[in-house]
Structure 1
Amino acid sequence: MFGRVALGTRARVVVPSIGGSVRGKSTSSAVATKSAPSSSSAVGPLAVPLHDADKIYLNNGKTGGELLDDVQTHTGQKWDKDDYRMVRFVNFPKLVNQRRAMDLINDIPPVPVPGSRTFCDGGGGPLGHPKVFINVDKPGNHACGYCGIRFYKDDHHHH
């Protein structure tokens, strides 16, 4: 009815009084002014106070030159300090996961298999992978092609 008010502006709203009207027209009216909400009370990402647990400390006390030191990613990407692609890391450091998938798989010891065959389904269920059968007759470790878990034939089993 009154429309929208832009931030930082004032609106003048004419409200007809209940008093005397002539042929549907208001003879007197009250004028109300309403100011728009200030930007500090506006709901938005900057108006919400952050708690200490919500804050991200990106610089960690590093200088600008230290932030531009490029860290090599798991794919081998590493650029010079003068490369134009380093612009995106001027204010924020490059986030690189130091725990690579190959290192995580190598932390899991090989699984002994009592027979000559085994299968791997990645743990089963919706988080697994298709079931594959692995022949472990030859000596050494045999890795699953999907998840990389290693299996070997355990010759010291008892029947």
Structure 2
Amino acid sequence: MTMFDLQREIVEEVAKIKQTETVDAAQLSKIRTTISSYASSIRDWELMVTYGEKAGGNPSLDPFIITTTRLLDLCLMNKAGLTQASPHFANDLQKAINDGDAILPPVRSRTRKNHIRETKAGAFWKRLYMAIFGGFAVVAPMLLMVLYKHLLTSLLTT
């Protein structure tokens, strides 16, 4: 059902209640179920909009758009008969999907392998920067104490 259909159902039930000026348990149950479905559809819509924004307007990065630019989508479309891929290309598709080259929902890298590689590289650089900063934080006060032998320097660095 679309959100419009759910809204229409809610309004129709409210109109019935207004006309009869009574509410029975069946109407309350139906309204409760319809409102729950409507709230769920709004959450789903917000999720779809969020992923669309993360994709930055690029439909090939939006997981709610099925496109032939993603290997997994192309393989699914091929199996459903929506596209015709050559036999050797279909084998390459299956191999790529098995090897981990299927596309993830919107991330900066195009494939799962690249995402893992970029995540590991980012973690390495973060550790390196922290090590350099930590080393500087330990060594700098000692250098100050050695180079400037003054009472104020000793008090400030210890």
State the TM bucket, normalised to the shorter chain: under 0.3
Larger Rg: 1
- Structure ranking higher in helix proportion: 2
TM-score (normalizing by structure 2):
0.24
Higher strand share: 1
